[in-house]
Structure 1
Amino acid sequence: MDRRTFIGTVGAGTVAGVAGCLTRDGGNGNGGSGDDGTLRIATYDSMVNGESPAGPWLKEAFEAEHDAEIEWKVPDQGLTQYVRSARENAEIDADAYVGVNVDDLVRIDDELGDGGLLRELEVDRLDNADRIRDELEMGDPHGRVLPYDTGYICLVYDETLVDEPETLADLTEPAYEDALLAQNAQNSDPGRAFLLWTIDAYGGGGYLDYWGDLEDNGVRVLDGWTESYSGAYMEGERAMVVSYSTDQVYANEYDYEMSRHQVAFPNGQGYANPEGMGILEGATDVDVAYDFFDFVLSSEPQAEIAQRNVQFPAVGDDHVDLDAEFDEYAHEPPEPVSFGYEALRGSLGGWVDDWAKEIVGQ
Structure 2
Amino acid sequence: MSRCVLLRCAAAAAVVAATLVAAACGGDDTPTDVVLVTHDSFAVSKAVKQAFERESGLTLRILQGGDANEVLNRSLLTAGDPQGDVVFGIDDSVLSRAVGGDLLEEYRSPELSTVEPDFANPDPHVTPIDHGEVCLNVDRRWFASRHVPPPKTLADLILDRYRNLLVVENPATSSPGLAFLLATVATYGDPGWQTYWRGLRANGVRVVDGWEEAYTQQFSGASGSPGKRPIVVSYASSPAAEVIFASKPLATAPTAAVEEGCYRQVEYAGVLRGAHNEDGARKLIDFMLSERFQADVPGSMFVYPVRAGVPLPEAFAKHAIVPRDPLQLPAAQVDANRDRWVARWTEIVVR
TM-score normalized by the length of structure 1? 0.80
Aligned to 1:289: 281
Separation (CA, whole Å) in 2 of partners of 1:55 and 1:188? 26
Name which of 58, 61, 71 aligns with 2:61: 71
1:308 corresponds to which residue?
300
> Can you give the 5+ residue segments of structure 2 that lack an aligned partner in the other structure?
1-20, 22-27, 144-148, 220-224
Aligned counterparts of 2:62 and 2:174: Cα–Cα separation in 1: 22
Q: Helix, strand or coil for the counterpart of 1:332? A: coil
- What is residue 141 of structure 2 aligned with on the other side? 160
- Structure that is richer in helix per residue: 2
- Please report how far the alpha carbon of residue 94 of structure 1 lies from its aligned counterpart in structure 2 after TM superposition: 0.8
**Shift in Å at residue 194 of structure 1?**
0.5
Conserved in 1, the CA contact under 8 Å of 2:298 and 2:313? Answer: no
Identity of aligned residues (%): 29
Q: Which whole-Å deviations, capped at 9, do the CAs of 1:16-63 have from their partners, x for residues lacking one?
A: xxxxxxxxxx9xxxxxx864131111011121xxxxx31644432200
Q: 1:82 aligns with which of 65, 75, 98?
A: 75
Distance 2:337 2:120 in 1: 19
TM-score (norm 2): 0.82
The yes-or-no answer on 1:36 pairing with 2:36 is: no
1:235 matches 2:212: no
Counterpart residue number, 2:346: 356
- Taking a change above 3 Å as real, the CA distance of residues 214 and 281 of structure 1, as seen in their structure-2 partners, is same
Q: How does 1:1-362 map to 2 (within 5 A)?
A: 35-47=30-42, 53-54=43-44, 56-76=46-66, 77-86=70-79, 91-108=81-98, 114=100, 116-121=102-107, 123=108, 126-136=109-119, 140=123, 143-162=124-143, 163-233=149-219, 234-255=225-246, 258=252, 260-266=254-260, 269-316=261-308, 318=309, 320-361=310-351
What letter is aligned with 1:283? A
- What is the DSSP-based 3-state SS (H/G/I as helix, E as strand, rest coil) of the residue aligned with 2:97? helix
Which letter maps to 2:40? D
Residues in 1 aligned to 2:287 and 2:208: alpha-carbon distance in whole angstroms:
37
Q: What is the distance in 2 between the residues matched to 1:64 and 1:92? A: 25
Bigger RCO (CA 8 Å, 6+ sep): 1
Query: Partner amino acid for 2:33?
Result: T
Residue pair 1:117, 1:281 contacting (<8 A) in 2 also: yes
Larger Rg: 2
For residues 137 and 181 of structure 1, what CA distance do their matches in structure 2 show? Answer: 35
Report deviation, 1:328. 1.6
RMSD: 2.1
**Displaced runs of 4+ in structure 1, greater than 6 A?**
none
Kindly state the Cα deviation for residue 156 of structure 1 after the two structures are TM-superposed: 0.9
